[in-house]
Amino acid sequence: MKSTSKYEMIQHLLAELKQPAYRFQQIADAIFKQRIGEYDRMTILPKGIRNELIKNLGEHVLNVTPVMQKTSSQVNKVLFAIEGGEHIEAVQLSYKRGWKSYCISSQCGCGYGCSFCATGTIGLKRNLTADEITDQLLYFHLNGEALDSVSFMGMGEALANPNIFDTIMILTDPRTFGLGHRRITVSTIGILPGIDRLAKEFPQVNLTFSLHSPFDEQRSELMPINNRFPLHDVLNKLDQHIRDTGRKVYIAYILLRGENDSNEHAEAIAALLKDRGPWEHLYHVNLIPYNSTDVTPESFHQSDKERVQKFVTILKSKGIKVTVRTQFGTDIDAACGQLYGHNKL
């Protein structure tokens, strides 16, 4: 079911009220430039229009309710209540050089059941609306925070939610969030139709593919989606994505001690990414230290530093571009694979 965003609703409402074209910009400026979170406080608008906005949209601009916040040195994790009594989480990362990055959720829960991920243990409750997704960012913005970059790496599989495309429209609309396309990253476990649509509609948005094993059989065990969209089909699609967009594709790889961190795994990743064609230099591997939670299997553990280093050395020796992701937020369950949407302190 396609939901209409509040920004579209405001435009419809203004048209019905036969308001001049600049009215929408006034409202957008009140929200995004003056950071006003209640329609009644937008005193630049006539009282009648404010009343209509409140009648149709409620008093508050935000449709999500922050219920809990956990903070550690560079990480701020917020738990939001959404309609239907459910919860979602968003994470703000603050880098030393002043950059603010956000990891936001696209679904409440996730139906893909990757065995190492906390979000997967709750199953899929529902897709988030475009407002529920963008409101996670708007919450931080209204609280005075800069929005430098955004990744759809919170709860859920972004490309399984059709509302993600409306969301990106809102985030890149110069009248509202005005985010550059290259400041947005969509992460996927390999949903082929979604990868296609992203390349067509938003070729400049960054794409990250979650690999986690270069071996089909093992990948299917860790990530059941591999049975539906097998690895080689996804890689062929990523080749096409790079050819069509000229943009880098990031390969995310969570290192699980004794499971997928052997020399053989590193060599197999290199073999997968080499000899793909003149664009192969546009593949970049991001290695992610595994983060455990109360709800993920106890059999998974983080690889030790020497093993990670060896893995990196092998990939680099084969000419693969690789980065080890800095770990943030493990102490407050805010790191990759830890978002669970519960409100236990």
Q: Which residues are catalytic?
A: 89, 336
Same fold for the pair 6-57 and 78-332:
no
Q: Report the pLDDT value the prediction gives residue 345, as an integer from 0 to 100.
A: 35
For the domain made up of 6-57, the CATH class stated in words is mainly alpha
The pLDDT tens digits along the chain (345 residues) read 567 999 999 999 999 999 998 999 999 999 999 999 999 999 999 999 999 999 999 999 999 999 998 887 788 889 999 999 999 999 998 888 888 999 999 999 999 988 888 787 889 999 999 999 999 999 999 999 999 999 999 899 999 999 999 999 999 999 999 999 999 999 999 999 999 999 999 999 999 999 999 999 999 999 999 999 999 999 999 999 999 999 999 999 999 999 999 999 999 999 999 999 999 999 999 998 887 666 666 778 888 899 999 999 999 999 999 999 766 555 545 455 555 655 543
Q: Report the pLDDT value the prediction gives residue 3, as an integer from 0 to 100.
A: 74
Say which DSSP state 312 is in: H
Nearest one of 152, 166, 157 to 124, comparing CA atoms = 157
Domain 78-332 has CATH 3.30.70.330: no
Cα–Cα distance measured from residue 158 to residue 127, given in angstroms and rounded to the nearest whole number: 9
Q: Report the pLDDT value the prediction gives residue 70, as an integer from 0 to 100.
A: 86
The encoded tokens of residue 234 equal 């996804």
Task: Give yes or no for a contact between 105 and 88, defined as CB atoms under 8 angstroms apart.
Answer: yes
Cα–Cα distance measured from residue 79 to residue 89, given in angstroms and rounded to the nearest whole number: 5
Which residue has tokens 């302190």? 345
Q: Report the pLDDT value the prediction gives residue 333, as an integer from 0 to 100.
A: 59
The encoded tokens of residue 176 equal 């509202």
- Determine the straight-line distance between the first and last CA of the chain, rounded to whole angstroms: 34
Task: Give yes or no for a contact between 183 and 150, defined as CB atoms under 8 angstroms apart.
Answer: yes
The encoded tokens of residue 174 equal 């110069």
Q: Residues 9-18: contacts with CB within 8 Å, 24+ apart?
A: 9/56, 9/57, 10/53, 10/57, 13/52, 13/53, 13/56, 14/49, 17/49, 17/52
The encoded tokens of residue 326 equal 């800095």
Task: Give yes or no for a contact between 260 and 211, defined as CB atoms under 8 angstroms apart.
Answer: no
Domains of the chain by residue range: 6-57, 78-332
